[in-house]
């Protein structure tokens, strides 16, 4: 284990770091999970003193590659080389010993430990009797934190720190292990503007230190600002790579989505019916504020925004998972109170959540039981189950969605993401709702299922259902919606219709900045 | 994505026939064990097959199994109640106290049931209302409920139960079939129907597999769990009536340590301790196996404590063996 | 240590114990005589020692229900050794007790680590197995005072600087665990594994091995307590310390150790045990029947968890995390 003092000494430049010379290289990496091919022969090169942006839509395989790089997953095929020598990471320890460290989306640290302990866990400086030298650990932590311009007490408990400071602790940890490769997985997702610009400064410092940085982000302005190179993944495959100087934003987008932005979505033009849902002044103490809109029969209303803009939080309040502090909802002009999902469902509002595995499906139960779960009162008699009714209801809706499965009593957990999503949608259609909310409906599912979900969404709207779609994918939002509400930091930032619905306005409204990234 | 390959449009309801599903199930294995124990016992002791001996042997498990049924549902839903034996103590103490007040048998029964329900409601409110982990809540109420019995009784005992009260623990419905055995059978059927044939049972499974997913599907998770705690309290109350009637007296140490025996029985019956799966027939069979093993060892003059080694080892083995097996078969493939 | 002591949970509990003691002292000044306080501490020493081991197990999101059975089995074995070979020195007896206890703990740990069996099932099983083995070892017989050698019985009761050796051993264990928990990588790993097992993997901590070590510690302390218990009460039989495992868990819970893992402290576990010890010893003094003790400790557990849960919720966690508890 390398002590932190060495890490600090390395500030002048790592001896082995020669800019332009390949540091870490992955080639032909594949990884398969039951039912899903997460990565298919992808390559990724990282250079010392340079930032490589890893770009791709949700489910493109970015988090899988991070897990392979950090030794959590082992690839099924392909090679990893460092300085030209092939290496293996059977454990997280091995990856960390090889100088690879990651700062994750949800800062993975320990609430009950102190800042210094979080920085040095796994490689704390030892003193007498092999005990942790607390004094030295605090000193080293302090100097590491100072080096990145943070004024955090090394003795403070992590649970008392805010998100931005937690990030700084994570970065200090990365420095403490004398990492040669630093992976930053959406590091700015939850940061304020000021904190983001501080983070950029820090990335510059890391570059100057000769670290190779893998920077994962959805925000184009930030990629163009700090990255030197890019690699694009699409559906688990390599879609392109090169230097930032030679690529335009449009080209990157095309590589990401594999089609031009104005690809054809199966959107049908439907004459909008009367108003179904009206929400006014919906507020929550910590997640969203004064949300109001109305929705008509046959309409698809898109909700766009950056990750953490409060879209899902609002939808879940509308579905009765959390309670709003203020505001009213009415269905067909009638004011209703929603205290639980059961209330929402009985009022005809249903919600397809983003987190399919945890919220959408009940893994462990068979497909047909998942489909009938909210409709049991209709398939049963006096509270007693009637299996024949259940199978026929499940069959009716799963076949409408063209579900692919071995049998209806197969565990829903054995299905691919796309087919799981079909089960979730079938479950809600079986309740015959009037409003269906879809939260990132095509996140992490294969292209075939994606198209099926889009087509079906369109059919639903045509049949008179009112649809709310939360999505972070610009083509999907623009291709499917009649109207788009953009949320930013818990509030409605803009409502776009007709000509106003273009990528530039969306991005501008979501980021809340005047100039679009060029 | 194997299923995108061909995938017939018409998906069958089930792939396996009911018989296929039965073979290789946990319950079938338990049944085989039960039959084996039966034969071993028959060979080992000439006294085993005596109807009255067998009838006596059922008292080894009937009361615990009654609680076990409700506990099974509770554990499937992802919770646990370690206070059941203490509820017995408190309910029994309350009935003993009621005797002193001159309550008649039906009022005594009502007292036992009511105390069970109140204790269950108390556990349920703490777990679902305040969102506390059930394992610690019920470790707390385990001390509290039995503690109240100790406060009331100290080192004394209540006796003097009316003679008609003795029926619940000592009466026979017909020939060698005791009231307790009949009650056990009836409750087994009721709980099997409740868990396997009703919407409520389906909700219990859904909650146990994924409480968040169940909530997002419109299941009233808190309400279902509260009802399960009520049921467990009620069954403990019923067990208290039977046990008190059988013993004819109440001491605060009554049913001491039963909570762990009940949990052991339920886990042996194939209920997943992490929630989500298991069946009532499995619990019934586990109860019978445990009862017969106890009885068999008893006939062979093997002390009960030695049998506990067997039960403890069985408890670990039934969970360990499938895992070891899976590891070996995975190892050979790789 | 100093940091731990000023943490609010522990401070509140310490205040509660002090207030309780003070209240008793206003009516019965004899209770706070140093000799009596020392006696209370000595009486609570076994609970304190076991609570330390249970704490590290609970920190890693596990539980050990076999500690009392482990104690009884180890106690029976060392007592048997003593009756057969009375000349074996106490030092060796203690070493045997600790090793044997650690071995029994390691058996729990290996099942949890290598086979991934839920800890509650493992220790429920080994609890009954260990008790059963005591019967096999002793053939159901008691080992009474007159069968034990004088040094064997005398050791925990010998006084050094006014305190019995039993108390000194508890103090030694507290110190040792305070150092292990605060100053060794393994000690910090206990918190990391329980607080955030996924993240622990990323930092290169072996979650299973850490849990295994927690069980070994708990087992070693149970073994040590096994000898002390048998020697102090000068009797060994199958049922000694029956049901004590839950009292140990109760001490931890009252001391603010979170059953969900990752939260707890040496000070908390010790204070939790002391709370129960003070209650137990105070009841006869203030003329309340000792039969109140169980109900009081039960109420204390419930109040403690409700209090700790509320304190954590006030930290403003993400609201959706509580979704599974909503109606």
- Which residue's structure tokens are 């595995």? A357
Residue A485: DSSP 8-state: E
List CB contacts of B36: < 8 A, sequence separation 6 or more.
none
What integer best gives the mean pLDDT of chain B?
89
CA-closest candidate to residue B295, choices B38, B43, B31: B38
Domain count for chain B, please give it. Answer: 1
List CB contacts of A158: < 8 A, sequence separation 6 or more.
A109, A110, A111, A112, A113, A114, A115, A118, A166, A169
Residue B125: DSSP 8-state: I
| Residue C318 located in a structural domain | no
What phi and psi values does residue A486 have, to the nearest 5 degrees? Answer: -105, 130
Q: Is C317 exposed, middle or buried (0-12, 13-18, 19+ CB in 10 A)?
A: exposed
Largest CA distance in chain A: 79
d(CA B210, CA B257): 31
| Residue C159 located in a structural domain | yes
Position A425 scores a pLDDT of 93
Position A310 scores a pLDDT of 86
Identify which of A92, A111, A340 has the shortest CB distance to residue C204: A92
Residue A267: DSSP 8-state: P
Mean of pLDDT values over C98-110: 98
Can you give the residue range of the structural domain that contains B116? 51-317
Position A473 scores a pLDDT of 79
CA-closest candidate to residue A367, choices A321, A316, A430: A430
Instruction: Tell me whether residues B13 and A409 touch, CB distance under 8 A.
Output: yes
Q: Is B161 exposed, middle or buried (0-12, 13-18, 19+ CB in 10 A)?
A: buried
Mean of pLDDT values over C143-154: 93
* β-sheet bridge partners, residue A42: A29
Position A8 scores a pLDDT of 38
More confident residue, A171 or C279: C279
Mean of pLDDT values over B206-227: 95
C197-226 confidence digits (pLDDT tens): 888 887 778 899 999 999 999 999 999 999
B277-293 confidence digits (pLDDT tens): 999 999 999 999 988 88
Instruction: Tell me whether residues B218 and A373 touch, CB distance under 8 A.
Output: yes
* β-sheet bridge partners, residue A282: A291
C89 and B CB contact within 8 Å:
no
Mean of pLDDT values over C135-152: 91
C-chain residues near A96 (CB < 8 A): 203-204
| Residue C204 located in a structural domain | yes
Please report which helix (H) or strand (E) contains residue A26, including its range: strand A24-33
**CB environment A105-134: b (16+ within 10 A), e (fewer):** bebbbbbbbbbbbbbbbbbbbbeeeebbbb
Subunits that touch chain A (at least 3 Cβ pairs < 8 angstroms)?
Answer: B, C
Residues of chain A with pLDDT under 50: 1-18, 260-262, 515-518
Assess whether pLDDT exceeds 50 at residue C110. yes
What ipTM score was computed for the predicted complex, to two decimals? 0.85
Residue C65: DSSP 8-state: T
Dihedral over alpha carbons A266, A267, A271, A274 (to 10 degrees): 120
Please report which helix (H) or strand (E) contains residue A101, including its range: strand A100-103
Instruction: Tell me whether residues A108 and C3 touch, CB distance under 8 A.
Output: no
A-chain residues near B3 (CB < 8 A): 35, 404-406, 415-416, 419
Instruction: Provide the CATH number for the domain around residue B260.
Output: 1.10.3470
**CB environment A55-87: b (16+ within 10 A), e (fewer):** bbbbbbbbbbbbbbbbbbbebeebebebeeeee
Among B7, B9, B11, B20, most A C-beta atoms within 10 A, so best to mutate, is B11
Can you give the residue range of the structural domain that contains C70? 44-313
Q: What structural domains and CATH numbers belong to chain A?
A: 4-256 (3.40.50.300), 273-339+467-512 (3.40.50.300)
Instruction: Tell me whether residues A122 and C185 touch, CB distance under 8 A.
Output: yes
Instruction: Tell me whether residues C327 and B323 touch, CB distance under 8 A.
Output: no
* β-sheet bridge partners, residue A330: A278, A335
A277-310 confidence digits (pLDDT tens): 999 999 988 788 889 999 999 999 999 987 778 8
- Confirm if C157 and C164 have CB atoms less than 8 A apart: yes
> Could you tell me the pLDDT band of residue B6, with boundaries at 50, 70 and 90?
very low
| Residue B252 located in a structural domain | yes
CA-closest candidate to residue B37, choices B27, B47, B52, B48: B48
Assess whether pLDDT exceeds 60 at residue B252. yes
Position B233 scores a pLDDT of 98
Instruction: Tell me whether residues A110 and C202 touch, CB distance under 8 A.
Output: no
Instruction: Provide the CATH number for the domain around residue C137.
Output: 1.10.3470
Instruction: Tell me whether residues B218 and A359 touch, CB distance under 8 A.
Output: no
Among B21, B205, B217, most A C-beta atoms within 10 A, so best to mutate, is B217
| Residue B268 located in a structural domain | yes
Residue A513 has which token pair? 């900045």
Assess whether pLDDT exceeds 50 at residue C314. no
Domain count for chain C, please give it. Answer: 1
Mean of pLDDT values over C47-58: 97
Chain A interface residues (partner C, CB cutoff 8 A): 70, 72, 91-93, 96, 102, 104, 108-113, 117, 121-122, 124, 130-132, 134, 155, 159, 286-287, 313, 316, 321-322, 339-340
C215-274 confidence digits (pLDDT tens): 999 999 999 999 999 999 999 998 899 889 888 999 999 999 988 889 999 999 999 999
The pairing of strands A237-243 and A229-234 is antiparallel
Largest CA distance in chain B: 76
Instruction: Tell me whether residues A35 and B2 touch, CB distance under 8 A.
Output: yes
CA-closest candidate to residue A310, choices A431, A489, A73: A489
- Which residue's structure tokens are 């009460």? C233
Beta-carbon-side half-sphere exposure of residue A4 (alpha carbons within 13 Å): 27
Identify which of A132, A287, A321 has the shortest CB distance to residue C184: A132
The pairing of strands A334-336 and A291-296 is unpaired
| Residue C257 located in a structural domain | yes
d(CA B259, CA C237): 23
| Residue B283 located in a structural domain | yes
Residue B326 has which token pair? 């899976």
Position A509 scores a pLDDT of 82
Identify which of B3, B201, B206 has the shortest CB distance to residue A373: B206
CA-closest candidate to residue B29, choices B323, B322, B328, B325: B322
| Residue B299 located in a structural domain | yes
CA-closest candidate to residue A428, choices A361, A363, A473, A484: A361
C-chain residues near B146 (CB < 8 A): 294, 298
Q: Please, what sign has the CA dihedral across residues C296, C299, C305, C306?
A: negative
Position C322 scores a pLDDT of 27
Among C125, C251, C305, most B C-beta atoms within 10 A, so best to mutate, is C125
Binding-face residues of C in 47-66 toward B, CB within 8 A: 63, 65
B171-199 confidence digits (pLDDT tens): 999 988 999 999 999 999 999 999 999 99
| Residue B101 located in a structural domain | yes
* β-sheet bridge partners, residue A44: A26
Assess whether pLDDT exceeds 80 at residue B5. no
Please report which helix (H) or strand (E) contains residue C254, including its range: helix C244-254
| Residue C104 located in a structural domain | yes
List CB contacts of A509: < 8 A, sequence separation 6 or more.
A304, A486, A488, A493, A494, A496
Assess whether pLDDT exceeds 50 at residue C326. no
| Residue C26 located in a structural domain | no
Assess whether pLDDT exceeds 50 at residue B334. no
| Residue B258 located in a structural domain | yes
A339 and B CB contact within 8 Å:
no
């Amino acid at each position: 284990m390398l002590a932190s003092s060495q890490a600090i000494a390395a500030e002048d430049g790592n001896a082995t770091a020669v800019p332009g010379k390949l540091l870490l290289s992955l080639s032909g990496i594949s990884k398969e999970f039951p039912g899903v091919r997460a990565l298919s022969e992808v390559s990724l090169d990282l250079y010392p003193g340079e930032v490589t942006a890893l770009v791709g839509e949700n489910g493109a395989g970015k988090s899988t590659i991070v897990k392979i790089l950090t030794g959590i997953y082992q690839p099924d095929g392909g090679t990893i080389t460092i300085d030209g020598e092939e290496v293996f990471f059977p454990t997280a320890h091995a990856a960390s010993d090889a100088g690879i460290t990651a700062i994750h989306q949800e800062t993975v640290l320990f609430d009950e430990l102190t800042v210094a302990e979080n920085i040095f866990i796994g490689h704390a400086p030892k003193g007498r009797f092999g005990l942790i030298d607390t004094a030295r650990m605090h000193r080293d932590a302090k100097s590491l934190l100072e080096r990145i311009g943070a004024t955090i007490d090394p003795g403070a408990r992590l649970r008392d720190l805010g998100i931005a400071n937690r990030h700084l602790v994570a970065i200090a940890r990365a420095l403490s292990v004398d990492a040669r490769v630093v992976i930053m997985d959406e590091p700015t997702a939850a940061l304020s503007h000021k904190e983001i610009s501080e983070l950029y400064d820090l990335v510059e410092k890391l570059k100057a230190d000769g670290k190779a940085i893998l920077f994962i982000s959805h925000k184009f302005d930030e990629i163009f600002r700090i990255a030197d190179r890019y690699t694009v993944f699409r559906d688990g495959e390599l879609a392109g790579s090169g230097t930032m100087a030679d690529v335009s934003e449009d080209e990157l987008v095309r590589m990401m989505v594999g089609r031009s932005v104005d690809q054809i979505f199966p959107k049908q033009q439907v004459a909008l019916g009367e108003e179904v849902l009206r929400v006014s002044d919906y507020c929550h103490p910590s997640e969203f504020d004064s949300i109001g809109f109305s929705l008509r029969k046959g309409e698809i209303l898109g909700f766009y925004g950056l990750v953490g803009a409060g879209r899902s939080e609002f939808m879940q309040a509308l579905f009765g998972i959390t309670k709003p502090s203020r505001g009213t909802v009415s269905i067909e002009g009638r004011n209703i109170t929603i205290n639980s999902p059961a209330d929402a469902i009985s009022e005809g509002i249903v919600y397809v959540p983003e987190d399919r595995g945890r919220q959408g499906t009940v893994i462990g139960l068979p497909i047909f039981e998942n489909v009938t779960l909210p409709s049991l009162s209709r398939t049963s008699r006096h509270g007693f189950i009637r299996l024949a009714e259940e199978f026929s209801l499940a069959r009716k809706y799963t076949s409408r969605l063209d579900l692919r499965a071995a049998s209806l009593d197969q565990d829903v957990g054995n299905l691919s993401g796309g087919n799981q999503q079909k089960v979730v949608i079938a479950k809600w259609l079986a309740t015959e709702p009037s409003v269906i909310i879809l939260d990132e409906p095509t996140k992490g599912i294969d292209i075939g299922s994606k198209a099926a979900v889009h087509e079906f969404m369109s059919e639903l709207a045509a049949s008179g259902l009112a649809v709310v779609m939360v999505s972070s994918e610009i083509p999907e939002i623009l291709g499917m919606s009649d109207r788009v509400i953009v949320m930013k930091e818990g509030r409605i930032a803009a409502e776009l219709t007709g000509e106003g619905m273009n990528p530039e306005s969306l991005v501008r409204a979501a980021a809340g900045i005047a100039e679009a990234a060029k | 994505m194997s299923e995108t390959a061909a995938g017939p449009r018409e998906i069958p309801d089930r792939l396996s026939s009911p018989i296929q599903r039965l073979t290789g199930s946990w319950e079938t294995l338990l049944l085989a064990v039960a039959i084996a124990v039966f034969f071993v016992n028959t060979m080992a002791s000439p006294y085993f097959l005596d109807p009255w001996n067998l009838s006596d042997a059922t008292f080894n498990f009937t009361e615990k199994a009654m609680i076990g049924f409700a506990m099974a549902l509770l554990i499937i839903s992802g919770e646990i109640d370690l206070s059941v034996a203490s509820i017995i103590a408190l309910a029994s103490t309350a009935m003993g106290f009621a005797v002193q007040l001159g309550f008649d048998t039906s009022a005594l029964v009502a007292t036992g049931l009511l105390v069970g329900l109140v204790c269950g409601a108390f556990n349920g409110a703490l777990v679902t209302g305040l969102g506390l982990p059930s394992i610690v809540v019920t470790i707390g109420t385990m001390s509290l409920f039995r503690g109240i019995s100790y406060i009331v009784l100290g080192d004394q005992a209540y006796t003097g139960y009316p003679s008609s009260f003795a029926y619940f623990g000592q009466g026979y419905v017909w020939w060698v079939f005791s009231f307790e055995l009949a009650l056990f059978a009836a409750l087994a059927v009721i709980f099997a129907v409740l868990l396997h044939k009703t919407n409520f049972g389906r909700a219990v499974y859904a909650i146990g597999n994924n409480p968040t997913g169940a909530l997002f599907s419109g299941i009233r998770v808190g309400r279902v769990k509260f009802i399960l705690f009520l049921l467990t309290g009620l069954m403990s109350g019923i067990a208290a009536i039977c046990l008190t009637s059988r013993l004819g007296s109440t001491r605060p140490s009554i049913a001491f340590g039963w909570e762990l025996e009940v949990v052991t029985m339920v886990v042996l019956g194939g209920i997943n301790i992490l929630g989500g799966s298991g069946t009532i027939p499995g619990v019934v069979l586990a109860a019978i196996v445990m009862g017969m093993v106890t009885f068999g060892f008893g006939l062979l003059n093997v002390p009960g404590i030695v049998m506990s080694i067997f039960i403890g080892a069985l408890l670990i083995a039934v969970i360990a063996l499938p895992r070891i097996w899976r590891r070996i078969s995975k190892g050979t493939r790789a | 240590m100093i940091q731990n002591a000023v943490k609010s949970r522990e401070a509140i509990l310490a205040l509660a114990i002090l207030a309780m003691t003070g209240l008793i002292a206003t009516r019965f000044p004899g209770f706070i005589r140093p000799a009596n306080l020392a006696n209370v501490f000595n009486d609570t020493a076994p609970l304190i020692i076991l609570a330390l081991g249970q704490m590290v197990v609970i920190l890693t999101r596990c539980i050990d229900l076999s500690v009392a059975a482990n104690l009884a089995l180890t106690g029976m074995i060392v007592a048997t050794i003593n009756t057969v070979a009375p000349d074996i020195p106490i030092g060796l007896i203690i070493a045997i007790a600790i090793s044997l206890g650690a071995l029994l703990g390691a058996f729990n740990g290996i099942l949890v680590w290598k086979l991934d069996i839920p800890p509650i099932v493992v220790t429920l099983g080994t609890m009954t197995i260990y008790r059963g083995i005591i019967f096999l070892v002793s053939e159901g017989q008691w080992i009474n005072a007159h069968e034990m050698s004088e040094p064997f019985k005398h050791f925990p009761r010998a006084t050094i600087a006014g305190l019995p050796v039993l108390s000194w051993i508890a103090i030694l264990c507290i110190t040792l665990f305070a150092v292990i928990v605060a100053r060794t990588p393994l000690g910090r790993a206990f918190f990391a594994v329980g607080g955030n097992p996924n993240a622990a993997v990323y930092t290169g901590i072996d979650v299973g091995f850490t849990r295994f070590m927690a069980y070994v510690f708990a087992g070693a302390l149970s073994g040590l307590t096994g000898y002390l218990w048998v020697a102090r009460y000068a009797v060994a039989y199958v049922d000694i310390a029956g049901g004590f495992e839950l009292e140990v868990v109760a001490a931890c819970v009252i001391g603010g150790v979170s059953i969900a893992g990752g939260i707890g402290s040496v000070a908390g576990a010790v204070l939790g045990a002391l709370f129960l010890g003070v209650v137990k010893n105070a009841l006869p003094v203030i003329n309340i029947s000792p039969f109140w003790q169980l109900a009081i400790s039960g109420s204390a557990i419930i109040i403690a968890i409700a209090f700790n849960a509320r304190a954590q919720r006030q930290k403003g966690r993400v609201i959706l995390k509580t979704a599974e508890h909503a109606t």
